[in-house]
Amino acid sequence: MKQNFTLFSKNLLRWYDTNKRTLPWRGESDPYRIWLSEIMLQQTQAERVSHYYLKWVKRFPTLESVAQAKEENLLKVWEGLGYYNRCRNFHRAAKTVLKDYNGEIPCEFNLFRTLPGVGDYTASAVLSIGFGVPLPAIDGNIKRVMVRVLRIKTLTKYNYQRIKKLLEKSIDKNRPGDFNQGLMDLGNQICRPNQAHCYTCPLEVFCGAAQTDFPEAYPQPALPRIVPHYDVVVGLVWKKDRFLILKRENRNHLGGLWELPGGKIEFRESPEQALIREIKEECNVDVILGKSTEPIKHRYSHFSIEIRAIHCQLQNGMKVFSNQPSQWITPEQIIDYPFPKANHKLFTQINFETNIA
Ligand code: SF4
């Protein structure tokens, strides 16, 4: 890249002023809402976040309302967005701001960075957009753009520092938030992973990859990941018109959400054997099995599952004893509890009229 940092920034901001995406948090000056949007945007596309963001701010308009809410109510609004640790950490962070900072979000990097769920990227994004602090916020889109500008094949730690330094020199001190969001939008709209539209790009004149026949070759594609697959069985354990649900432990994947008892089917186990074993382990009860639903498929970020539910009844007189919090709910109460998406898919398969064969 030619060492003209001012022009780099100027070209980018001119492009951003006429091409920025319309998103509900754009133009927002409340640091709480900017922070919320950045937490929701972690590993999630902006288009998908918009709906959840609007629903959330309607229900929890201030950081104080988040801090004072019950975790379960927050998870219910977050339900379906995934990566539930983000929600729990945001709740903890909101409580910390209320308790330790008198409700004022700290605008110093080193203080803000210590809050639960806040990493380098989130701290830089929130402080640059919400407080005008000139810090580059390097997300996936920005990495791709800058890797191409610098014509980097592999993003090593050394190369990451090169990108960071270049951005620190280029960032517009008067509009750091727009500078960061401009690069993010450029990566989203122009410098796409499989298609770089260099002829419309405001950075073409600075870009090393644009001088090649195939700018998309930067960075070198990573080797495809093998995604593990699991077969899972869960039980609809009935007591009259109610069935049993358990709350997942916070430290686990999907922690804090509710689920049906059950688990992975082990090698050489039938779904029925697996369910009897799992319910014994989780609830210390024996069950009589009834009908099974058709299995449904669901893919999480790091693995995929095929899950089925089997109607069950407790053996005579047995009482559930579980280390996890438990509830007996009617089908109508499903909407009152946050469940993983796979459970919701499964609920649509279940005929709640016939609860035992
Ligand atoms: S010129 Fe092309 S490769 Fe370079 S940043 Fe712009 S779109 Fe990406």
Per-residue pLDDT tens for 305-344?
999 999 999 988 778 888 899 999 999 999 999 999 999 9
Question: What is the enclosing helix (H) or strand (E) of 64?
Answer: helix 63-68
CB 33 within 8 A of CB 25: yes
Identify whether residues 207 and 250 lie together within a single domain. Answer: no
290: nearest Cα among 238, 349, 342: 238
Identify whether residues 268 and 127 lie together within a single domain. Answer: no
- Comparing 4 with 119, the larger pLDDT belongs to 119
Identify whether residues 171 and 102 lie together within a single domain. Answer: yes
* 238 φ/ψ sector (left φ>0, alpha ψ -120 to 50, else beta): beta
Q: Which of 159, 189, 217 is the last residue of a domain?
A: 217
Pocket perturbation via mutation, ligand 1, pick of 144, 148, 185, 194 by most ligand atoms within 8 A of CB: 148
Is residue 354 scored above 70 in pLDDT?
A: no
CB 40 within 8 A of CB 80: no
**Mean pLDDT score, 205-212:** 96
Identify whether residues 213 and 73 lie together within a single domain. Answer: yes
Identify whether residues 47 and 151 lie together within a single domain. Answer: yes
Q: Is the CB of 183 under 6 A from ligand 1?
A: no
Sequence-ordered list of residues with C-beta below 8 angstroms from that of 84, at least 6 positions apart, any chain: 75, 78, 254, 255, 256, 257
CA 298 vs CA 102, 210, 248, 261, 311: distances in Å: 43, 39, 18, 18, 20
Poorest-confidence range of 54-58, 80-84, 256-260, 347-351?
347-351
> Ligand 1: distance of its center to the CA of 211 in Å?
9
Q: What is the pLDDT of residues 77-88, one digit of tens each?
A: 999 999 999 999
Q: What is the CATH number of the domain that holds 71?
A: 1.10.340.30
CB 45 within 8 A of CB 82: no
Strand 258-259 and strand 242-247: pairing?
antiparallel
Q: Which of 217, 245, 265 is the last residue of a domain?
A: 217
Closest ligand 1 atom to residue 190 Cα is 7
Q: What is the CATH number of the domain that holds 342?
A: 3.90.79.10
User: Distance between CA 170 and CA 160 in Å, rounded?
Assistant: 15
Domain range enclosing 313 = 229-349
In a domain, 170, yes or no: yes
**Mean pLDDT score, 155-184:** 96
Q: Is the CB of 146 under 6 A from ligand 1?
A: no
* pLDDT value of position 357: 44
Identify whether residues 211 and 75 lie together within a single domain. Answer: yes
CB 303 within 8 A of CB 280: no
In a domain, 356, yes or no: no
Please, what is the average pLDDT of the chain? 93
Is residue 355 scored above 60 in pLDDT?
A: no
In a domain, 357, yes or no: no
171: nearest Cα among 9, 17, 20: 9
Q: Where are the beta strands (DSSP E) in 152-249?
A: 229-239, 242-247
In a domain, 114, yes or no: yes
User: CA gyration radius for the chain?
Assistant: 25
> Ligand 1: distance of its center to the CA of 25 in Å?
26
User: Distance between CA 154 and CA 206 in Å, rounded?
Assistant: 19
Domain count, the chain: 2
User: Distance between CA 157 and CA 319 in Å, rounded?
Assistant: 55
Q: Which of 185, 217, 249 is the last residue of a domain?
A: 217
Say if pTM beats, i.e. exceeds, 0.85: no
In a domain, 331, yes or no: yes
Identify whether residues 269 and 186 lie together within a single domain. Answer: no
352: nearest Cα among 332, 327, 328, 326: 332
Residue corresponding to tokens 């962070």 = 93
Identify whether residues 25 and 169 lie together within a single domain. Answer: yes
In DSSP terms, which residues pair with 339 in a beta bridge? none
Identify whether residues 195 and 261 lie together within a single domain. Answer: no
In a domain, 278, yes or no: yes
Q: Is the CB of 329 under 6 A from ligand 1?
A: no
Identify whether residues 200 and 236 lie together within a single domain. Answer: no
In a domain, 74, yes or no: yes
Identify whether residues 172 and 112 lie together within a single domain. Answer: yes
Contacts 24+ apart (CB under 8 A), 123-129: 124/180, 125/34, 125/38, 125/180, 126/31, 126/34, 126/35, 126/38, 128/171, 128/176, 128/177, 128/179, 128/180, 129/34, 129/38, 129/176, 129/177, 129/180, 129/181
Identify whether residues 199 and 92 lie together within a single domain. Answer: yes
